[in-house]
Amino acid sequence: MAEFDGKVAIVTGGFSGIGRATARLLSARGATVVAAGLPPGRDREAPLPGVEHVELDVTDEAATARLVEDVAAAHGGLDVVVAAAGIQRYGTAAETGAGEWNDVLAVNLTGTFHIVKHALPRLRARGSGSIVIVSSVQAFVTQSAVAAYTTSKGALNAFARSAAIDEARNGIRVNTVCPASVDTPMLRSSARAFTDGTDGAAQELVESWGRMHPLGRVARPEEVAEAVAFLAGDRASFITGIALPVDGGLLASAAVVLPG
């Protein structure tokens, strides 16, 4: 498929997980892709062939602005932005420290604001464009002990709606995808934190989380990337301001299960 031939895309959080899968898919479909992010530690994934990799801390607004200008200058413009950078910290409102709270919102929410804000002039110059933000089902429903994370994801959906309305006149579409559990380095790290730290115990926990989804498993990053690519491309040309669940039926299911 050459759906993105001639398009230039930036993917934040593009070194691992959903961001990496999206960068690979957009590149395979013809886009010139710049993956921006901070290399993960233990779960470092190999660089993608054919994709430009640039280290970026999305909480640094000046660095984010420079990235956008450098990409537009090098490749003649910008057409697609995928904001996939995100971190997870666990804790209730009572347990979460100010530092943890600020860290999560700085990356998940303010970091997304930075890339969107500075990409918009370049997208406007094209007279069109697409922004896709990776949010979460936790923008709608909340598990226990994720006060900062769920707040950031709910705010992302509201931010996307606002940008979608403001930029519609400029031909720019803004949407979010809202995955449930996805088998990413971040999920694996969480699984190790709640077990004895071994890969085997983490695998068992990931599988148990998967069984909580009606489809009976967690998602693969590539499955979420397909939804991102759809919203980023021309097949979704009349879609803006939506939050698309990619959740294995999680939001459709009731917690009460009948016996038998």
Indicate which residues carry an active-site annotation. 149
Q: What is the DSSP string of 5-52?
A: TT-EEEEETTTSHHHHHHHHHHHHTT-EEEEEE---STT--PPPTT-E
DSSP H helices in the chain: 17-28, 61-75, 98-105, 111-126, 147-167, 185-193, 199-211, 221-232
CA 99 to CA 127: how far, in whole Å? 40
Other CB atoms closer than 10 Å to residue 207's CB: what's the count?
13
